[in-house]
Amino acid sequence: MSVPGPINARLSLRAAGDMGPSSGPNPLRDRWLLQHGYAPESTALRRQTHSRQVVVVERESAAACHIEADGMLSADRDLSLAVTVADCMPIFLFDRATGAFGLLHSGWKGTGVAAIALELMRRHWGIEAADLDVVLGPCIGACCYRVDETRARAYAAEWGGAAVRTGPEAAYYLDLRAANIALLQERGVARITVVSDCTVCNERLGSFRREGAERFTRMLAVMTGATGQEQEL
Ligand SMILES: [Zn+2]
């Protein structure tokens, strides 16, 4: 699946197989990267822990996949960044002027990692949020993300009422997209593209909830700072 807009990025589908773990080697993942024009040796992955930790990746540190982080930023167009996802949302950031780019892994616990990334892009390269193109990739939708009341209330307290929906029988559903759109817009991001596929509903996509903990498929989201062509999903 290609990512829309000026961002040069792709997401592997479930049929391509399990692309994890992010913190260790995977020959299948290397083959998929090569097939799609990304060099495995210059594609950075990090050990993902559902944190809000964001790091800047440079050529020397590209291969350090033991480092814990759920967000990566770079301004080196010869590098690619990659995260694995299965219900969590991949978030792509791109600054057309400098070519700086970022890729984040954001589930419910890591919501807010996008705010950290914006702050770091401003501090590191002087990039304003208003200049960024941001794409929110496929994730578990509010249609399927039922949670208990305690988690729902905590999420709404931090990210606003729109981030939680209520269904029949007092069921609560998290809306990761609404939470991220609100926090990005509050910080000045104007160009946000949302890929609306739900990873649970769409069986072409990998999903922890639908496939189960024993056999879920981690998809690979990958991007570079090289400008991509306009591409259709
Ligand atoms: Zn759904």
The full set of domains in the chain, from first to last, is: 8-140+192-224 (3.60.140.10)
Q: How far apart are CA 118 and CA 189, in angstroms?
A: 9
**231 Cα to the center of ligand 1, angstroms:** 25
pLDDT reading at 228 higher than 70: no
End-to-end Cα spacing for the chain: 6
Q: What is the 3-state secondary structure (H, E, C) of 155-215?
A: HHHHHCHHHEEECHHHCEEECHHHHHHHHHHHCCCCEEEECCCECCCCCCCCCHHHHCCCC
Q: Which of 142, 135, 101 is nearest to 121 (CA)?
A: 101
pLDDT for 227: 63
Q: Which of 25, 43, 24, 21 is nearest to 34 (CA)?
A: 43
pLDDT digits (tens, 9 = 90+) for 92-123: 999 999 999 999 999 999 999 999 999 999 99
**155 Cα to the center of ligand 1, angstroms:** 19
pLDDT digits (tens, 9 = 90+) for 51-99: 999 999 999 999 999 999 999 999 999 999 999 999 999 999 999 999 9
**224 Cα to the center of ligand 1, angstroms:** 29
The percent of residues above 70 in pLDDT, for the chain, comes to 97
pTM value > 0.85: yes
**15 Cα to the center of ligand 1, angstroms:** 19
Q: What is the mean pLDDT of residues 133-141?
A: 97
**18 Cα to the center of ligand 1, angstroms:** 21
pLDDT for 22: 93
pLDDT for 231: 42
Residues near ion ligand 1 (Cβ under 5 Å):
141, 143-144, 198, 200-201
Q: What is the mean pLDDT of residues 10-25?
A: 96
**197 Cα to the center of ligand 1, angstroms:** 8
pLDDT for 35: 95
**141 Cα to the center of ligand 1, angstroms:** 5
pLDDT for 129: 98
**201 Cα to the center of ligand 1, angstroms:** 4
**21 Cα to the center of ligand 1, angstroms:** 25
pLDDT reading at 45 higher than 70: yes
In whole angstroms, how large is the CA radius of gyration of the chain? 17
**51 Cα to the center of ligand 1, angstroms:** 24
Structure tokens at 115: 């705010």
Q: How far apart are CA 177 and CA 222, in angstroms?
A: 20
Q: SS3 of 35, please?
A: helix
